[in-house]
Amino acid sequence: MNQQDLKIINPFGNDKDFAGCSIFGMMNLEGKRFGSKDPVRAITNMHERSNGLGGGFAVYGIYPQFKDYYALHIMYLSKDAKEKTDHILASNFNIIFDEEMQTKPANVINPPLLWRYFVEPKKNRPKTQTEDDCIIEAVMRINTETGQAFLFSSGKDMGVFKGVGFPEDIADFFCLEDYQGYLWSVHGRFPTNTPGWWGGAHPFNILDWTVVHNGELSSYGINRRYLEMYGYKCTLQTDTEVLAYAVDLLMRKEQLPIEIVSQILAAPFWSEIDQMEPKKRLALKTLRQTYGSLLMNGPFSVIIAHHGEMIGLTDRIKLRPMIAATRGDMLYLSSEEASIRLVSPMLDKLWTARGGEPLIGRVRSKKTVAPTEVKA
Amino acid sequence: MATKQKTAIISEKFQSFAKNEKGIWKINAQDVHYKELNILLRELDSNGVAKVELSNIYGQRYIGTDLKTKLKIDIYGTPGNDLAAFMDGPSIEVHGNAQDCTGNTMNDGQIVIHGRAGDITGYGMRGGKMFIRDDVGYRVGIHMKEYVNDKPYMVVGGTAEDFLGEYMAGGILVVLGLTLKEGEGHKARFVGTGMHAGIIYVRGEIGNLGKEVKVMDVNEADLEQIKSLVKEYCDHFNADMDAIMKGKFVKIVPYSHRPYGRVYAY
């Protein structure tokens, strides 16, 4: 990419800045939905960790009236791109409902055209292709075809809201006060190596999987090439994108539990593996040999979420912060303790995990997740 | 005019949330940005105030930075990162937990934390004392250093996570392990990686060391040093001195003052 292209994509400057992002996750373990007030307060309290070049939210349980359909959020940088994309959508999906996303004037920079669709894949597709595969194919196609359209949220009964601005401004812009969810994961961005643009804001999403990330993945190149072999195309110019696709590949497609996945993404050192008992040593060695290209190198703390589950993970030598707490039915994950204390001064438990060891929160009964059972 | 200024110790913009009550300045820091808060603390410090109480602290950074007198600051809430960074004299007591990077390049003074402290606590600390009641995070005491009479001391009541004393270049770090269960050892890995001066005293079992350090038994002089620091710890947190001193201490010191000398020279 030449310098001119970079300028067009990132009018906010490509200089390298140093700081940390902020991440915050909040989940009701009974699957009860709540509003944006506490997540927004918490992330706003970490204002210093971001610089206004990106903010975003992933919210689960927000579309109970359309819970059986995939909710697609798409940003268009041109009208032309929308026409082309609408054509792709119409030929692959039954579009149940679509509308311009609800927004209001806020302190955000150059918002694109934002559109929301509720769709179901058409029945006349190859027999071997699942509905999920059909969605992924559409995401990859839309995101690569025009260069002007980006499908940034593609799960059922959940949605990603993100853009260029401080997270509190993004919440304002997308009118998040009108939404209720049982799991909120939030990001304030301070881009270091890659441009601050609408598609590059966190969370990164595929199907109902989302990732918010503080840090940088120096292994991006090798991770991306590995994922390309499985049909994932990285288009958003940000390292975190590979993490979202890696999680989709390992957890959804290959059905590995997070306890194993964390040993792939943040594998123990060889020196530690050498000291394990033989059976475990063989297992860990096999994982590193099989999935070596999905090792996430470089400093990171992330919150990974999908329906019913929120997971915190840091790199194996914990070069980025993460702290967890519970109070009643609420689970909190945060870059800083103060943000948790702000929304819940009293806590039942507060703890940190070792680098590379996942913190896992699961909805107690999947049944209670069914959004229709919960009054907003 | 000059006398008028002298009576108003703090700027007008701070008077709505900072009040002098019988010689103690009480500051309600709810929604006060760290920059404002630290300007206010500087004003109080430079006017010879003796005691300040901060309430509703939620993550404000750099509290106490650059202050040079013997001011006493009590903090209620959760102070933000870089608490007491570059501090040079005051005494801070945190009634709660501290976040990351407490005492960053602190020069003199004292920090007492009634709770836990996060990662890189005591980062580049050059002098003064720090007492933490419970556990601490990763890389605690990283690059602590000493020079002639300036020597930092840190006592951790609980246990520490990995890279304790990383690149340590001076000072004394004591880890008491009081939060460990009976028979449980410290789990910290890579302790003292890159360490080239200073001493880490550990009460209890510790195994996974960096390649630059060795574990030794403590001698009489070491025990005297440990005892005087543990006494201060017990005074701050009302802990049982005799019970603590019954535990077995070891010391971790570097093999060499220039572990990488040969790497770069040849």
- Three-state SS across chain A? CCHHHHHHHCCCCCCCCCCCCEEEEEEECCCCCECCHHHHHHHHCCHHHCCCCCEEEEEECCCHHHCCCEEEEEEECCHHHHHHHHHHHHHHEEEEEEEECCCCCCCCCCCCEEEEEEEEECCCCCCCCCHHHHHHHHHHHHHHHCCCEEEEECCECEEEEEECCCHHHHHHHCCHHHCCECEEEEEECCCCCCCCCHHHCCCEEECCEEEEEEECCCCHHHHHHHHHCCCCCCCCCCCHHHHHHHHHHHHHHCCCCHHHHHHHHCCCCHHHHCCCCHHHHHHHHHHHHHHHHHCCCCCEEEEEEECCEEEEEECCCCCCCCEEEEECCEEEEECCHHHHHHHCCCCCEEECCCCCCCEEEECCCHHHHCHHHCCC
- The yes-or-no verdict on residue A35 having pLDDT over 50 is yes
Residue B57: list chain A partners with CB under 8 A.
338
Mean pLDDT of chain A, nearest integer? 90
Q: Which residue has the higher pLDDT, A6 or A130?
A: A130
Whole-number Å distance between alpha carbons of A176 and A187: 14
By residue count, chain B amounts to 266
- The yes-or-no verdict on residue B212 having pLDDT over 70 is yes
The arithmetic mean of pLDDT across residues B210-221, rounded, is 95
Instruction: Look at chain B and report how many structural domains it folds into.
Output: 1
pLDDT band for position A190 (cuts 50, 70, 90) = confident
Residue B2 inside a domain? The answer is no
The arithmetic mean of pLDDT across residues A49-61, rounded, is 94
Query: Which domain CATH number covers B43?
Result: 2.160.20.60
B166-178 residue pLDDT tens: 999 999 999 999 9
Binary contact (B163, A317; C-beta < 8 A) = yes
Residue B5 inside a domain? The answer is no
pLDDT score of B258 = 76
- The yes-or-no verdict on residue B10 having pLDDT over 50 is yes
Give SS3 for B76.
strand
Residue A338: list chain B partners with CB under 8 A.
57-59, 77-80, 99
Q: What residues in chain B have their Cβ under 8 A from chain A's Cβ atoms? A: 34, 57-59, 61, 77-81, 97, 99-100, 118-119, 137-138, 161-163, 187
Which helix H or strand E contains B226, and what residues bound it?
helix B220-237
pLDDT score of B26 = 97
Residue of B nearest to A343 (CA): B58
pLDDT score of A17 = 46
pLDDT score of B117 = 98
- The yes-or-no verdict on residue B126 having pLDDT over 70 is yes
pLDDT score of A261 = 95
Q: Which residue has the higher pLDDT, A367 or B8?
A: B8
Q: What is the CATH number of domain A3-365?
A: 3.60.20.10
When CB atoms are compared, the residue of A338, A354, A355 closest to B99 is A338
pLDDT score of A194 = 72
For testing contact with chain B, the best of A47, A50, A273, A336 (most B CBs within 10 A): A336
Percentage of chain B surpassing pLDDT 90? 90
For testing contact with chain A, the best of B32, B54, B78 (most A CBs within 10 A): B78
Strand-pair category, A300-306 with A209-215: antiparallel
Q: Which residue has the higher pLDDT, A235 or A115?
A: A115
Whole-number Å distance between alpha carbons of B5 and A278: 76
When CB atoms are compared, the residue of B34, B59, B161 closest to A336 is B59
pLDDT band for position A200 (cuts 50, 70, 90) = confident
Alpha carbon of B193 to those of A362, B212, B262: distances in Å?
37, 6, 17
- The yes-or-no verdict on residue A4 having pLDDT over 60 is no
pLDDT band for position A1 (cuts 50, 70, 90) = very low
- The yes-or-no verdict on residue B6 having pLDDT over 50 is no
- The yes-or-no verdict on residue B15 having pLDDT over 50 is yes
pLDDT score of A195 = 74
Percentage of chain A surpassing pLDDT 70? 91
Sheet containing strand A359-362, strands side by side:
A204-206, A209-215, A300-306, A309-314, A359-362
Range of the domain at B57: 17-265
- Sign for the pseudo-dihedral over CA of B59, B14, B73, B30: negative
Residue B130 inside a domain? The answer is yes
Instruction: Please count the residue pairs, one from chain A and one from chain B, whose beta carbons lie less than 8 angstroms apart.
Output: 53
HSE, side-chain direction, 13 A CA sphere, residue B27: 28
pLDDT score of A116 = 98
pLDDT score of A369 = 39
- ipTM surpassing 0.95: no
pLDDT score of A125 = 87
The arithmetic mean of pLDDT across residues A7-30, rounded, is 68
- The yes-or-no verdict on residue B134 having pLDDT over 60 is yes
Mean pLDDT of chain B, nearest integer? 94
Binary contact (A48, B58; C-beta < 8 A) = no
pLDDT score of B248 = 96
Binary contact (B137, A45; C-beta < 8 A) = no
The one-character DSSP state at B145 is: B
B51-86 residue pLDDT tens: 999 999 999 999 999 999 999 999 999 999 999 999
Residue B8 inside a domain? The answer is no
- The yes-or-no verdict on residue A16 having pLDDT over 70 is no
Q: Looking at the complex, does the CB of residue A203 fall below 8 Å from at least one CB of chain B?
A: no
How many CB atoms within 10 Å of residue A48? 20
Whole-number Å distance between alpha carbons of A185 and A167: 11
pLDDT band for position A147 (cuts 50, 70, 90) = confident
The arithmetic mean of pLDDT across residues A222-245, rounded, is 91
The arithmetic mean of pLDDT across residues A186-201, rounded, is 84
Residue B11 inside a domain? The answer is no
Binary contact (B119, A318; C-beta < 8 A) = yes
pLDDT band for position A322 (cuts 50, 70, 90) = very high
Which helix H or strand E contains B48, and what residues bound it?
none
pLDDT band for position B4 (cuts 50, 70, 90) = very low
Which helix H or strand E contains B257, and what residues bound it?
none
Least confident piece of the model among A19-23, A103-107, A206-210, A330-334: A19-23
Whole-number Å distance between alpha carbons of A220 and A38: 33
Question: Which residues of A are catalytic, by number?
Answer: 21
Binary contact (B99, A337; C-beta < 8 A) = yes
pLDDT score of A14 = 44
- The yes-or-no verdict on residue B3 having pLDDT over 50 is no
pLDDT band for position A22 (cuts 50, 70, 90) = very high
Binary contact (B59, A323; C-beta < 8 A) = no
- The yes-or-no verdict on residue A225 having pLDDT over 60 is yes
Report the gap between the CA of B59 and the closest CA in chain A (Å): 5
The arithmetic mean of pLDDT across residues A25-49, rounded, is 97
